[in-house]
Chains A and B, each alone.
Chain A
Amino acid sequence: MIILSKLTDIFEYLAKRHRLLPWLLAYVLLLPLPFVLAGLFNEYLIDLVNRICLFILLAVGLNIVKGFCGQVTVGHIGLYAIGAVTSAVLSLEPGGFGGALGFGWPVWLAIPTAVLVTAFAGLIIGLPSVRLQGAYLALATLGLGESVRIFIAVTPALGSSTGLMMIPAPSVGSFTLDSFTSYYYIVMTAALFGIYFSFSILRSATGRAFQAIREDTTAAAVNGINVIKYKLLAFVFSAVYAGLAGALFAHMPPGYLHHNNFTVIEMVTLLLMVVLGGIGNVWGGVIGAIVVAIAYDQTKDLVFYFMDRPIVIQPLVFGLSMVLLVMFMPRGIGGWIEDFQRNRRFIRRSEERLNGSTRNT
């Protein structure tokens, strides 16, 4: 609690100096992280952090469409797959070892192209939202997302069941960014920009339009918001995040993609991150991604022996802790932080008013 309030104080103080100052500071503080982790612990944690960065991109992106705009989508993982496979196929050598389709593009060209392709796919996944809501929309997007995976699974040119392999890592000049540490700088930068953009959207007229649609679609339309346009825009924004995360996942060493990385289970994990973190709260998505990824990593291989039979207790521990968290923190961790900040602001304002009135008398 005390740490949190100090942190928000510092953040607000810096933001008052210059709006980009907290971001710059965060970036500078994050720069030495791989060396700290490798020095204090081990290199594996850098890999874990890299994966967390991808989850952050995914969760923050999903939060835009689900949290800000209130559109229930279960197709996000399909967009992730599209971003990953597009970037992989574009950058693979034609007639390469894996036997899949390849165009031999430079990685730095393949990634933005994949993001654009995914953005367009996001538009298509968003189309049902024009007519459907709630569970019906969830079903429609689930179908679209899952059909992407099945399409990959049955198309040999996209890897089908053997997967896409030896997808090249990006390089700068003659230096290939294929180590945990060098890749960290790519995904960390991407994640930080992702969070920043998400805040920019949330605090602008665009973000308010999304939220108005979530709160009351009819009222939003009557307030002059083009509901269809903004719903689709939310889907496109979140698709850009998913596409970027997918492309970065594809090129992350060892550069391998398989359609079973994009199943409904992965989608549920992603939803869990957003719900646990706090729907509609940017930090919620970030914290949810971090907490779920770490909890998963730590509990995954806990085995409990019952009558000499091994029982994997991860689903139990994981599921139970999630149920408890959701029960006692229905608005997620982000909601808790939001309440905390609001209370602090309120207390500060009352104090100011009190001080002001005593000075006047």
Chain B
Amino acid sequence: MALLETLNLSKSFGGLQAIDNVSLRVDENSVHGLIGPNGSGKSTFFNLLTGVYQPDIGSHISFNNIDITNKPAHYIASQGLARTFQLLRLYGELSVLENVLVGYHPHTKYGPLAPLIMGAEVRRQDKLVKEEMMDLLEFIGLAEHAEIPAAELSGGQRRLLALGRAIAMKPKMLLLDEPGAGLSPVNVDNLMATILTLKERYNLTIVVVEHILKVVMATCDTISVLDHGQKISEGSPTFVKNDPAVVEAYLGREMADEDIRAAMNS
């Protein structure tokens, strides 16, 4: 069944139609790829799903059978939709542990005023949550750095932390915005392996935007292709790879089919 479904999703900024009537279904427990040339609207699409932008009138988004159209970002997050950012957007001055603790925020069991008294229950909760988050950090390999400010981590560690922070939200679905950007091929492979392990461990559905097509082809069950805000193709990796519309969007008309296939397989 579909965990996430968009119907006629549109967004225009002034005269620019960033997303144009996109309808999309993401099945539960799948890994869904979202690709497209630069400026095709992938990041905007994520921003619409997570409530960072409000879609145009007539759009519908439902998640886990709940209508989340025009709902505020924090509400959507609390329904179990987590994401990472292309530019990570970590809380630089907060420690690694605090970053994942912020991720845990929607599951906090006490109200915002409760900590004033710092009662036994609040302290017990905090202790349990901290232990749980340390387990998570252990799993992604950052436990050692738990007390270091996030800004002082290396590039690869920061990507892991961004992932960890999203996982800490205990989401049903995880949207990954170019998780491999700026990493070496070996590190990208490691990262994808980690993501797939996390998927199994936390029973996640994943939507991934990625530029490195090899990665997308290897890991995704279904791929949707966006170009100029429109969905131009969708299907299995093999289908998308051979779809002339995709080839055209990426490389223009003139190139021969063989060349393109070679480029995509490389």
Contacts and interface: CB of A to CB of B under 8 A. Distances in A.
Given A211-B93, A215-B92, A215-B93, A220 B50 contact: no
B83 interface: yes
Interface string B91-130: 1111000100111111010101111111000110010000
Contact of A211 (B73, B91, B106, B118): B91
Contacts of B74: 221, 223-227
B18 interface: no
A212 interface: yes
Contact of B93 (A222, A226, A280): A280
The 9 tightest CB contacts between A and B, nearest first, are: A204-B115, A224-B106, A224-B77, A221-B73, A215-B91, A219-B89, A205-B108, A206-B112, A212-B102
Nearest to A205: B108
B51 interface: yes
A223 B73 CA distance: 8
Nearest to B123: A19
26 contacts: A19-B123, A197-B116, A203-B115, A205-B104, A205-B110, A205-B115, A206-B113, A208-B94, A208-B98, A212-B91, A212-B94, A218-B52, A218-B73, A218-B89, A221-B51, A221-B73, A221-B74, A222-B50, A222-B51, A222-B73, A222-B77, A224-B77, A224-B105, A226-B72, A226-B74, A230-B112
Interface in B72-93: 72-74, 77-78, 82-83, 85, 89-93
Contacts of A229: 112
Interface string B126-141: 1000000000000000
A110 B122 CA distance: 31
Given A206-B115, A212-B102, A221 B77 contact: yes
Contacts of A221: 51-52, 72-74, 77
A209 B102 contact: yes
A168 interface: no
Most buried by B among A204, A218, A220, A345: A204
Given A197-B116, A212-B91, A218-B73, 15 more contacts: A201-B115, A204-B122, A206-B113, A207-B115, A211-B93, A211-B98, A215-B94, A218-B52, A218-B89, A221-B51, A222-B77, A223-B165, A225-B102, A226-B72, A345-B147
A216 interface: yes
A222 B83 contact: yes
A200 B50 CA distance: 31
Interface in A14-30: 19
Interface in B7-61: 50-52
B207 interface: no
- Chain B: interface size category: 35 or more
A341 to B, nearest CB: 10
Interface of A: 19, 197, 200-201, 203-209, 211-212, 215-216, 218-227, 229-230, 233, 280, 342, 345
Most buried by A among B89, B102, B108, B115: B102
Nearest to A197: B116
Nearest to A215: B91
A200 B106 CA distance: 19
A313 to B, nearest CB: 38
B225 interface: no
Interface in B143-172: 147, 165, 169
A167 to B, nearest CB: 28
Given A215-B93, A215-B94, A200 B116 contact: yes
A200 B118 contact: yes
Contacts of A201: 115-116
Contacts of B118: 19, 200, 204
A224 B169 contact: yes
A67 B115 CA distance: 18
B52 to A, nearest CB: 6
Given A208-B105, A280-B93, A223 B77 contact: yes
A211 B94 contact: yes
Most buried by A among B73, B83, B92, B147: B73
Nearest to B91: A215
Contacts of A203: 115, 126
